[in-house]
Amino acid sequence: MDLNFSPEDETFRDEVATWFSENLSGDFKHVRYRGGSGDQSEMFAERREWERHMGRHGWSCIAWPKEYGGRDATLSQQVIFAEEYARAGGPGRTGHLGVELAGPTILAFGTDEQKKRFLPPIAAGDELWSQGFSEPNAGSDLANVRTKAWLEDGLNGKEWVIEGQKIWTSLAQFADWCFVVTRTEEGTQGHKGLSYLLVPLDQEGVDIRPIKQMTGDAEFNEVFFDGARTAAENVVGAPGDGWKVAMGTLAFERGASTLGQQMDFRNELYEIVEIAKRNGKIKDPHIRQRLADAWMRLKIMRANSLRMLTKAEKAELAPEALIYKIYWATWHRNLGELFMDILGDEAEIGDAAPYQLNGLQKVFLFSRADTIYAGTNQIQRNIIAERALGLPREPRGNT
Amino acid sequence: MDLNFSPEDETFRDEVATWFSENLSGDFKHVRYRGGSGDQSEMFAERREWERHMGRHGWSCIAWPKEYGGRDATLSQQVIFAEEYARAGGPGRTGHLGVELAGPTILAFGTDEQKKRFLPPIAAGDELWSQGFSEPNAGSDLANVRTKAWLEDGLNGKEWVIEGQKIWTSLAQFADWCFVVTRTEEGTQGHKGLSYLLVPLDQEGVDIRPIKQMTGDAEFNEVFFDGARTAAENVVGAPGDGWKVAMGTLAFERGASTLGQQMDFRNELYEIVEIAKRNGKIKDPHIRQRLADAWMRLKIMRANSLRMLTKAEKAELAPEALIYKIYWATWHRNLGELFMDILGDEAEIGDAAPYQLNGLQKVFLFSRADTIYAGTNQIQRNIIAERALGLPREPRGNT
Amino acid sequence: MNFAFTEEQELIRDSARKFLAEHATSERARAVMESDSGYDEALWANIAQEMGWAAMVVPEAYGGLGLGMVELVILQEEMGRRLACAPFFATSALAGQAVLFQGNEDQKSDLLGRIAAGELSASLAFSEPSMGWNLEDINATWRQDGDGFVLNGVKRHVVDGLDTDLLIIAARKEGSKGCEGLSLFALEGTLDGMACTRLVTMDQTRPQAQIELNNVSVSGSACLGAPGTAADALDKTLNIAALALAAEQVGGAQECLDKTVEYVKERVQFGRPIGSFQAVKHKCADMMVEVESARSAVYYAACIVDEGTDELAEVASMAKAYCSDTYFKCAGDAIQLHGGIGVTWEHDAHLYFKRARASRSYLGDPAYHRERVAKAIEAFDTSVDHFKYGGTV
Amino acid sequence: MNFAFTEEQELIRDSARKFLAEHATSERARAVMESDSGYDEALWANIAQEMGWAAMVVPEAYGGLGLGMVELVILQEEMGRRLACAPFFATSALAGQAVLFQGNEDQKSDLLGRIAAGELSASLAFSEPSMGWNLEDINATWRQDGDGFVLNGVKRHVVDGLDTDLLIIAARKEGSKGCEGLSLFALEGTLDGMACTRLVTMDQTRPQAQIELNNVSVSGSACLGAPGTAADALDKTLNIAALALAAEQVGGAQECLDKTVEYVKERVQFGRPIGSFQAVKHKCADMMVEVESARSAVYYAACIVDEGTDELAEVASMAKAYCSDTYFKCAGDAIQLHGGIGVTWEHDAHLYFKRARASRSYLGDPAYHRERVAKAIEAFDTSVDHFKYGGTV
């Protein structure tokens, strides 16, 4: 057991760090530290251009096979990349739902044709993705999906026709494609009869309405499918296997990108430490305890990730992977509260009228959503108890 | 709304305080502050004598009607009595299960004959009671009672014969009587078919085995009924109405005696404050916050009780009465932890070999039981959610 | 001892609840948030004049109803249930108290009279940039100038400060330290050298202003009471205001609980109302434990205040610390239990959450107030018989 | 980077787990609790000699196996799962480390050699009445007396102090202050003027002693290394010991979780295994989140220690603070979820709970260690690139 990187890894680190320092300058200097969770629309066009720039230089999806635009990177290299990206102030990735979720899902479950069609544009930063899982009545309860789809003859052969509504679809307003869990077998319930479709968003029959959130920004959307269409072959896995594929997608949320997320957290924590130093609260014994707690827990978050990733590389299922979501979400929410308590009354005051809040204020507010989306803390505890500890499932109601 | 006592009440307070100061002296000086939760066997014989002494002077059950040995005391008087009792260092009441639970239950649900037979000996301190509710498989789930009873001809006419086992029966080793929830209708389940029997403990067919608890003392017991008998008329309420009567008993746990309990808590908190002053921890900012929190919450506990009792006097059901158990139990558990953290390593060290711990160490340990007996914190939350907030009940399993 | 509302108090509560449910709606609060005005003027006129609440705690001698702290917390609790955008708290619990405690008879007669009549809204400018809520830390100054005074300094976080008619300014004599030399000045309208700026606040339902004073000349009668003697009055005012704010927090927390219970009874997931899941039930139960206890803390403290004992500071801190934590927790849990809908702008949950956050630090955060209680504990002699109101502890 | 055990490490863990499950049983712990002896001598002989664990972290030069911190935390974690009554922690993590860091070659060769051979059990006498864990607060003294030294003072909370062969005494030069003048003395057997008392401890599985030193004369060779130079060694020793204790806490917490999960799967109430109720499930889930995180903290810190960087103090404090809270919480929750049976003497839950309580304050409680981390944060310059091991923060 050790935490050292090999000399080859350190060489790779130098290469990555050098590339970022050379490229996050000039035209791209202004996107540094921009965007990211809670602030996804900030400088979107510029960040999208940066995504393409990374793609052109082969840095977009380094974990992927070379033939699809990746670099076959090892786990250590992925860790190094994620950390260096965040350390260099790399902006929130506009393509992250494609890079982290759609791409790996297609790699794991897709056909060769799908891989050839969809992976290179993701790697190139040319096509952005969004995720169509939740519905108004299927938030925590994904098995309750009601959006339906069926095959019809269309202009270009057989096509899926989609009817229904998705919600909490992050970045849909910017995305080209959406992976959509639909019910394709009439009369089925629960996990059965679902299919995982890839649907182009730029078409009649798709209506995207941003949802304004408590920060004042809109990062999520409602997406209405009203006769939307996609080609028959745009189903990942067999029709009816959508549940299995969707669960696979959720598992990919725990990849090496978690290290990058933690570096963003680190940047936030550093900023808060500096604020506490400036306003003197660093001397407050209660604030000190909380800062220490946040600091320790962030180091532990990283250690948790490294344990989980080490096992993942050996293709072991790590029960500790199941704790990741609730751990980071709760940590982040507490960080936001700590920031506000350090600033006290001053924490109320935003940047500009009418309602422009500063970055850490947005962390405070948006982190309330962290413990809700992608499985509430309550759902996470169910998952941990049932899958890791083997406790009995809750009886399902009949209503 | 006001917290003032009337001049009459203040006169009553003087009378009570004077009586205690005159009587908790001489022979009874040594029982001051003795016994109580977690330490029930301490100086039991002497405390039992004190119970009789109070009874002889009409101070045992002041809330009861005069005809049964009480004083028809008003709510304010009960509050005053409870507070003055604890303030004077009145010892843990050996008769409290009779005074607080059995007596009020018989008053509310019993026949005139039962009142005449059972109440005066309680008021006189001559007969001590214990509570036979829980069973090994009916801890949180009282409806699962399996101890059964049936009527048979006996030497003195019809008698109940009882078979089964009760557990967590506090003070049974000292008690004369036990109120026992039994299943008297064969084949019934849940709340139905239960009866509330009054059973003498000094008989063949009753086997009492103390349960040693983590403090090293034994305050709870297992009670085995193996053909134990009680007269046919010793059923409170109609046969089959045991659930309703038992629920009534539980409600009496929230009477004016809660104020006395809080005065005991106050004494413990004062002792902890003094310890913190002596060892300098009173200057520790974290300890200060926790002391302040304990202090505030104790005042609030009293205010909660006064609201609840004021409503009870007007025969209103106060939803806030439902929060009392979880509030005090959690507070007390936290107090124990605070004490230990104030003493640090020194908190480990007991009074004498082989395993004599000091009073606050016992509070720390025994308070872990506070959040379990008489309804765990988890059960209390169910009760609050269902009865006060009207949330749906949990589905019952079939296993 | 009767720890329940009298019939008259029940009436006050019922009519306040009814009135506010009808008039202090979310729609009207949102309209204020979108507008340039700091509050809902029609609502304030209703409250102050027709309902007569501005007169509620003003002594009868000055044209008020002469009611007590219990009545004030009743109104504040109801106000907190809604997101009433009106300077009731600033006028009655901050400025009005300051005038009452520090003004001379003329000043009380004039200012309290107009407050009671609903003609004057007011606020207190106490805190400053990088300052908390300790009197000792006041930096704004006054100096005598002929019959009048000259004021300098910057006041921040003045609630409703840009929108009220009267501002009470706390300042110290140039060169003074600690609690010495403190005065309160009553300023109406904008004076020469005075610049008021609206701050952008996260909680948009209660605006804050910054007041800059640059050699502002005021008349001698602007100084409440004798110059340099305002420390006690300020201290009392902040305590009363903290308790009034705590009452508002109880109302807000109760509303969060009520709305959540309503929602979880209806929202179905996994084929059951989510309120049937223990994770949800138990969170609601915990909310109720805290809300009821917070309410007890406020009522208890209000009774103590009405008794006029020396426990004011301790019970006010108790209430403010407890209720701040309770409201913040309940507002946060309300969002959590509403799931996705709870983080949207459209839903009111965030308005309560932001109000909870703002009032948590305003007048001192829970750690500050617990520390004040700790000081009281340290000074407390447990061997002395402190029996008051048969009081525990 | 490979943040998993090597095959050799897995072997160590597996054999330790197997051995302890068989030998360090609850029955044997309870027998020790009832007896006058401080530990299970047969168990210690097995551990130290046959299993060779006493040699584990002693450098090869002194007859040990020369393994590192990762191996020590592996053993400690397994030890914590059981309630092993043996002075392994005192010998390997306290006294052994002190000798290693402060002894001269002869002392190391002699003492560590015998420790490695399983011939010598040992402990460290550091804390004193009314003292915590700061070096500066040591009051016990030494003075030179010819070629030897004279010791005075009272040492308290010496774990296994009455039962081990060797005691390392921390004392300061008479008249010295702060971290100056500190020395460590190695004492075997009871000397003239030395009185050792067994303290009655709430946790009966790890006894503590009080050692009174009244003009105790010791030889010159009893002083480890040069007189008055032991501050660094002591500091390092306490850090290593804190981390080793944290590992034990992880093991204990894991055992509490495992036993609880087992119980709630079987215990039926309301017609269902109680483990199917969310109130129970979620508490178990929270326990697992904390246990796994505590484990990560310990493994991470152990890797850092084996790297020999200057982060030792910070990561040791991190591990001790986190694991102390985790163990205490899990042991308390285990009692709660076991219901009535959990508070009985017969059930093991209270033994873990008491161990968790004792180890929570031993070597410094969580608040003490978080404060140490806070000091590191304060000194940390966020603008400098602190990248180490690709490390976050």
Rounded to whole angstroms, how far apart are CA atoms D393 and D390? Answer: 10
- The DSSP bridge pattern shows strands B177-183 and B129-132 to be parallel
What stretch(es) of chain D map to CATH 1.10.540.10? 7-120
Q: What is the mean pLDDT of residues B297-321?
A: 85
Q: How far is D246 from chain A (nearest CA, A)?
A: 14
Q: Note whether B384 and B273 are same-domain residues.
A: yes
The confidence score (pLDDT) of residue C390 equals 41
Q: Within a domain: residue A364?
A: yes
The overall average pLDDT reported for chain C is 95
B397 lies within 8 A of chain A by CB: yes
Burial category of D382 from C-beta neighbours within 10 Å (exposed 0-12, middle 13-18, buried 19 and up): middle
Examine the pLDDT at C154 and tell me if it is beyond 70: yes
Q: How far is A162 from chain C (nearest CA, A)?
A: 23
The residue in chain D having the minimum alpha-carbon distance to the alpha carbon of residue A283 is D378
Q: What is the pLDDT of residues D337-377, one digit of tens each?
A: 999 999 999 999 999 999 999 999 999 999 999 999 999 99
**Percentage of chain B exceeding pLDDT 70:** 98
Burial category of B365 from C-beta neighbours within 10 Å (exposed 0-12, middle 13-18, buried 19 and up): buried
Going by pLDDT thresholds of 50, 70 and 90, the confidence category of residue D385 is low
C292 lies within 8 A of chain B by CB: yes
Closest CB to D332: pick one of B134, B350, B368. B368
Q: Within a domain: residue A111?
A: no
- Test A378 with C204 for CB contact under 8 angstroms: no
Going by pLDDT thresholds of 50, 70 and 90, the confidence category of residue D390 is very low
- The label of the residue with tokens 């960040």 reads A47
Q: Within a domain: residue A325?
A: yes
Closest CB to D365: pick one of B341, B353, B396. B341
Q: How far is A126 from chain D (nearest CA, A)?
A: 31
Q: What is the mean pLDDT of residues C208-235?
A: 98
B286 lies within 8 A of chain A by CB: yes
Q: Within a domain: residue A124?
A: no
Going by pLDDT thresholds of 50, 70 and 90, the confidence category of residue D184 is very high
Domain that holds residue B364: 254-388
Q: Note whether B225 and B259 are same-domain residues.
A: no
SS3 at position A227 = strand
- The DSSP bridge pattern shows strands D166-173 and D141-145 to be parallel
Q: Note whether B74 and B141 are same-domain residues.
A: no
- Test A384 with D289 for CB contact under 8 angstroms: yes
Q: Which CATH number fits the domain that encloses residue A28?
A: 1.10.540.10
Catalytic residue, chosen from B163, B253, B320, B386, is B253
The overall average pLDDT reported for chain B is 92
The residue in chain C having the minimum alpha-carbon distance to the alpha carbon of residue A285 is C367
Measured CA distances, C296 to A101, C79, C315 (Å): 51, 18, 11
Q: What is the mean pLDDT of residues D306-332?
A: 96
A392 lies within 8 A of chain B by CB: no
- Test B304 with C292 for CB contact under 8 angstroms: yes
Q: What is the mean pLDDT of residues B304-309?
A: 90
A354 lies within 8 A of chain B by CB: no
**In this complex, which chains have at least 3 CB pairs below 8 Å with chain B?**
A, C, D
Domain boundary among B183, B209, B239: B239
Examine the pLDDT at B258 and tell me if it is beyond 60: yes
Examine the pLDDT at B287 and tell me if it is beyond 80: yes
Q: What is the mean pLDDT of residues C317-345?
A: 97
A390 lies within 8 A of chain B by CB: no
The residue in chain D having the minimum alpha-carbon distance to the alpha carbon of residue A86 is D392
What stretch(es) of chain C map to CATH 2.40.110.10? 124-227
Longest dimension (CA), chain D: 78
The confidence score (pLDDT) of residue B254 equals 72
Closest CB to C4: pick one of B1, B289, B388. B1
Examine the pLDDT at C392 and tell me if it is beyond 50: no
| A contacts of B397 (beta carbons < 8 Å) | 395
Q: How far is D241 from chain B (nearest CA, A)?
A: 16
Q: What is the pLDDT of residues C81-125, one digit of tens each?
A: 999 999 999 999 999 999 999 999 999 999 999 999 999 999 999
Assigned superfamily of D7-120: Acyl-CoA dehydrogenase/oxidase, N-terminal domain (1.10.540.10)
| B contacts of C297 (beta carbons < 8 Å) | 296, 299-300, 303
Q: What is the mean pLDDT of residues B11-22?
A: 94
Going by pLDDT thresholds of 50, 70 and 90, the confidence category of residue B398 is low
C contact test, residue of D270, D272, D277, D286 with most C CBs within 10 A: D277
Rounded to whole angstroms, how far apart are CA atoms C171 and C151? Answer: 8
Is residue B341 a contact partner of residue D368, using CB atoms and an 8 Å limit?
A: no
The confidence score (pLDDT) of residue D228 equals 98
Rounded to whole angstroms, how far apart are CA atoms C312 and C69? Answer: 11
The overall average pLDDT reported for chain D is 95
Q: What is the pLDDT of residues A87-125, one digit of tens each?
A: 888 999 999 899 999 999 999 999 999 999 999 999 999
Q: Within a domain: residue B62?
A: yes
| D contacts of C337 (beta carbons < 8 Å) | none
B contact test, residue of A281, A284, A286 with most B CBs within 10 A: A286
The confidence score (pLDDT) of residue A394 equals 79
What stretch(es) of chain D map to CATH 1.20.140.10? 232-392
Q: Is the pTM of this model over 0.80?
A: yes
The confidence score (pLDDT) of residue D99 equals 98
Is residue A294 a contact partner of residue A269, using CB atoms and an 8 Å limit?
A: yes
Going by pLDDT thresholds of 50, 70 and 90, the confidence category of residue C393 is very low
The residue in chain D having the minimum alpha-carbon distance to the alpha carbon of residue C276 is D278
What topology is assigned to C232-392 in CATH?
Answer: Butyryl-CoA Dehydrogenase, subunit A; domain 3 (1.20.140)
CB-based contacts of D383-388 (< 8 A; 24+ apart in sequence): D387/A87, D388/D309, D388/D311
Q: What is the mean pLDDT of residues C9-33?
A: 97
Is residue B234 a contact partner of residue B215, using CB atoms and an 8 Å limit?
A: no
Rounded to whole angstroms, how far apart are CA atoms A182 and A37? Answer: 27
Examine the pLDDT at D273 and tell me if it is beyond 60: yes
Closest CB to C299: pick one of B277, B303, B314. B303
Q: What is the mean pLDDT of residues D36-50?
A: 94
Q: What is the mean pLDDT of residues D113-134?
A: 97
Neighbour-count burial for D46-83, b at 16+ CB within 10 Å, e otherwise: bbbeebebbbbbbeeebbbeebbbbbbbbbbbbbbbbb
* C288 Cβ contact list (under 8 Å, min separation 6): B319, B323, B384, B388, B389, C257
Going by pLDDT thresholds of 50, 70 and 90, the confidence category of residue D393 is very low
D contact test, residue of A299, A371, A382 with most D CBs within 10 A: A299
| A contacts of C205 (beta carbons < 8 Å) | none
Q: What is the pLDDT of residues B25-80, one digit of tens each?
A: 988 999 998 887 777 788 999 999 999 999 999 999 999 999 999 999 988 899 89
Q: Within a domain: residue B2?
A: no
The confidence score (pLDDT) of residue A399 equals 41
The residue in chain A having the minimum alpha-carbon distance to the alpha carbon of residue D74 is A1
- The label of the residue with tokens 């309330």 reads A368
Examine the pLDDT at D391 and tell me if it is beyond 90: no
Going by pLDDT thresholds of 50, 70 and 90, the confidence category of residue C385 is low
Domain boundary among B239, B271, B301: B239
Other C-beta atoms lying within 10 Å of the C-beta of residue B199: 25
The residue in chain A having the minimum alpha-carbon distance to the alpha carbon of residue D374 is A292
Query: Among A3-7, B26-30, B302-306, C297-301, which range has the highest average pLDDT?
Result: C297-301
Q: Within a domain: residue B297?
A: yes
ipTM surpassing 0.90 = yes
The residue in chain D having the minimum alpha-carbon distance to the alpha carbon of residue B281 is D130
Q: How far is B358 from chain C (nearest CA, A)?
A: 20
Q: What is the pLDDT of residues A311-331, one digit of tens each?
A: 877 766 677 789 999 999 999
* B247 Cβ contact list (under 8 Å, min separation 6): none
**In this complex, which chains have at least 3 CB pairs below 8 Å with chain C?**
A, B, D
Q: Which CATH number fits the domain that encloses residue B362?
A: 1.20.140.10
Q: What is the mean pLDDT of residues D24-51?
A: 95
Q: Which residues of chain A have pLDDT under 70?
A: 315-317, 397-399
Q: What is the pLDDT of residues C175-219, one digit of tens each?
A: 999 999 999 999 998 899 999 999 999 999 999 999 999 999 999
Phi and psi at residue A296, to the nearest 5°: -60, -45
Q: Within a domain: residue A118?
A: no
Q: Note whether B289 and B224 are same-domain residues.
A: no
Query: What's the domain count of chain A?
Result: 3
Is residue A73 a contact partner of residue A79, using CB atoms and an 8 Å limit?
A: no
The confidence score (pLDDT) of residue B315 equals 67
Longest dimension (CA), chain B: 71
- Is B127 a residue of the active site? no
Q: What is the mean pLDDT of residues C134-153?
A: 97
Class of domain D124-227: mainly beta
Q: Note whether B225 and B281 are same-domain residues.
A: no
- The label of the residue with tokens 């939307």 reads A228
Catalytic residue, chosen from A253, A320, A337, A386, is A253
Rounded to whole angstroms, how far apart are CA atoms D152 and D141? Answer: 5
Q: How far is A88 from chain C (nearest CA, A)?
A: 31
**In this complex, which chains have at least 3 CB pairs below 8 Å with chain D?**
A, B, C
Examine the pLDDT at C322 and tell me if it is beyond 90: yes
